[in-house]
Amino acid sequence: MPTVYVTRRARFNAAHRLHNDERSGAWNQATFGACNSPNWHGHNYTLDVTVAGEPDPETGYVLDLAQLSRLIEDHVVRHLDHKNLNLDVPFMQDIIPSTENLVVAIWDRLANVLPAGRLHRVYLEETEKNSAEYFGPNS
């Protein structure tokens, strides 16, 4: 059977501040610029989750995309949407909420809850110019 890749898209809005408590205020400002604002800033994120697998002979699906959508909503979006990533999200506690760190955290939330297929890729777009993608710890 061929391996097929299916992707589901979700969106959420969240605020954050890029700041490293181990470094000085001057270092943080020089490193993160406007993203270091003590008053936070927000983004409209776009999340793509790709699952790989063989189509089921009875359904033709790798994974029912409605089911994947529910998993993304339950394990990711409801925890992030309209939240402050620094303050409101337990799984981001003590992690600088860069797009790079957030995409890895999202992978970790989804990797073991898929009922079929395997998580192949998590892509997170912070702005139309900035995005990160992660293919898992073994990539």
73 is catalytic: no
Q: 16, 79, 120, 126: which is the annotated catalytic residue?
A: 126
Give the largest CA-CA distance in the chain.
Answer: 60
Distance CA 3, CA 33 (A): 43
Q: 35, 73, 75, 133: which is the annotated catalytic residue?
A: 35
What Rg do the C-alpha atoms of the chain give, in angstroms? Answer: 17
Distance CA 74, CA 57 (A): 28
54 is catalytic: no
- Total residue count of the chain as it appears in this document: 139
35 is catalytic: yes
Residues taking part in catalysis? 35, 82, 126
